[in-house]
Amino acid sequence: MESAIKTFVEAFLRSAKFKDNIPEKQFQKLMDDNLKNIMSETDVTSATALAEIRKGVEEKQDGKVNFNEYMSVLGYLATKLSEKQLESKEAAPTKTEEE
Alpha-carbon gap, residue 40 to 9, rounded angstroms: 22
70 touches 27 (CB < 8 A): yes
CA distances from 65 to 26, 44, 53, 99 (A): 9, 18, 11, 52
Full set of structural domains in the chain with CATH = 2-81 (1.10.238.10)
| pTM for this predicted structure | 0.79
pLDDT of residue 24: 87
Alpha-carbon gap, residue 87 to 90, rounded angstroms: 5
Please indicate whether residue 16 or residue 94 has the higher confidence score (pLDDT): 16
pLDDT digits (tens, 9 = 90+) for 3-56: 999 999 999 999 999 999 999 889 888 988 888 888 888 877 777 788 888 888
Inform me whether the pLDDT recorded for 63 exceeds 80. Answer: yes
**Residues 54/35/44/61 CA torsion (nearest 10 deg):** 10
